[in-house]
Chain A
Amino acid sequence: MRDDLDASAPKDAVAAQLFPPWATLAARIALVSLVVLPLGLLGLLMTLQYTPYITGQSITPDQPVPFSHEHHVGGLGIECRYCHSSVETSRFAGLPPTHTCMTCHSQLWTNAAMLEPVRRSLAEGRPIRWRRVNELPDYAYFDHSVHVRNGVGCTSCHGPVDTMPLMRQAAPLTMGWCLDCHRNPAPHLRPESEIFAGHWAPPPGQEARGAELVRHYGIRTEHLADCSVCHR
């Protein structure tokens, strides 16, 4: 450094100024970045939490069997509850036991290599190890039955399932996302006949219909955003 300076600047200038001319600018930049950098870092950390990279939104995990909802729900028209049979009555939607697959695959595609893990599971009496797609941390409480019986349909949280060749996490599943609906559920509510539809878009009159449905299901929104609803 010193040698550079010596070569470029006149000798008396170096003696008079220990600092080169750009030092003031550097000092200013340093001062500003002393404030901006930590703030920026903090901001980055805070926004990073809500990116799909951390929330897992849109991630499609590999499954032991490439089970296609597009095929079974969209193509064959099988209802959610044929496989997720506890969704109306319990907290847990439930994944189908191997027996459920075999109600059809004991006769259909019986030699397909794709279904080998299903047949092995039946023979060994060990369940298929599906990988979780949607998962909340253990400190958050969630219940399927209360939503499904009160006008919140599957696709409001899981996306258009009937077009998914492989299941992906459709929603961010952050607290903010839950609260967006809990503070104002009306735009998402549907009548009983539409809850299990593979895809759904609000019809033109949803605003009036939503308010009507809030009354129909007797939903009391005052306390839906209380911490103790989900952290108990």
Chain B
Amino acid sequence: MRAALLLLPLVLTACKQEMAQQRKLGTHAAAPFWPDGTSARPLPVGVVARGALEHDRALAEPPPVTPALLQRGQERYGIYCAPCHGLVGDGDGMIPRRGFPRPPSYHTPRLRAAPASHFLEVITHGYGVMYGYAARVEPADRWAIIAYIRALQLSQGAELAAVPEAREKLP
């Protein structure tokens, strides 16, 4: 009898993994409770999310153009735009080469003349077959990308006279 009692704790250390699999929903866990089956909930109608006002404010006015902004723009452009628009913005990215409709070059007179607000609109809501990037590109980053596109446009149409140092390096 006593021996059996001693064995009891062994039985009680059951195999429940409650520490490893806690009863809570992780990020993007499956949750059959909701119709779309995920724990990631959209905002209820009418709710203004924390930070939404700053978000709008950042969209409304472009930040000052600094080397840091251009660098950020270059990085973000490389991640989100270069696969299609190509590294210099001529529309010759890897994805159009695999059959995606070819985007226009940024160096056409029409897009050179287009205001920054047009680019902002395209990044936010998309254009034709191009989807919007609002979910992945923050407002501040949208301005950074636009600044970088402007730099690309400048670089492709630059006059040699504007960069006298470059003259010596050219053959």
Binding site for B on A (CB under 8 A): 76-79, 81-82, 85, 91-92, 94-95, 97, 99-100, 102-104, 106-108, 125-127, 129, 137-139
Contacts and interface: CB of A to CB of B under 8 A. Distances in A.
Contacts of A92: 27-28
Given A79-B78, A102-B131, A106-B131, A126 B36 contact: yes
A127 B100 contact: no
Contacts, number: 64
Interface stretch (B7-15, B17-25, B61-69, B144-152): B17-25
Contacts of B129: 106-107
A72 to B, nearest CB: 10
Interface size class, chain B = 20 to 34
Contacts of B99: 107-108
A77 B24 CA distance: 37
Interface of B: 17, 19-22, 24, 26-28, 30, 36-38, 40, 78-80, 83, 94-95, 98-101, 129-131, 135-136
Contact of B19 (A91, A103, A127, A138): A138
Contacts of B98: 76, 108
Interface of A (DSSP majority class): loop
B131 A103 contact: yes
A19 B19 CA distance: 53
Given A92-B27, A103-B131, A106-B131, A137 B19 contact: yes
Given A92-B28, A107-B129, A125-B36, A76 B83 contact: yes
What 6 A-B pairs come out closest when comparing CB atoms?
A137-B20, A138-B22, A103-B131, A79-B79, A92-B27, A85-B136
Given A76-B94, A79-B79, A106-B129, A139 B20 contact: yes
Interface of B (DSSP majority class): loop
A222 B40 CA distance: 37
A99 B80 contact: no
Contacts of B37: 126-127, 129
A79 B21 CA distance: 32
Residue of B20, B22, B30 with most partner-chain A CB within 10 A: B20
Nearest to B36: A126
Contact of B80 (A82, A107, A108, A127): A82
Contacts of B131: 99, 102-103, 106
A99 B26 CA distance: 22
A77 B83 contact: yes
A106 B132 CA distance: 13
A205 to B, nearest CB: 25
Nearest to B18: A138
A197 B46 CA distance: 41
Nearest to B76: A81
B30 A82 contact: no
A36 to B, nearest CB: 22
Nearest to A93: B27
23 contacts: A76-B83, A76-B94, A76-B98, A77-B94, A81-B79, A82-B83, A82-B136, A85-B136, A94-B28, A103-B130, A107-B101, A107-B129, A108-B99, A108-B100, A125-B36, A126-B36, A126-B38, A127-B37, A137-B19, A137-B21, A138-B26, A139-B20, A139-B22
A129 B130 CA distance: 26
Given A85-B136, A138-B24, A76 B95 contact: yes
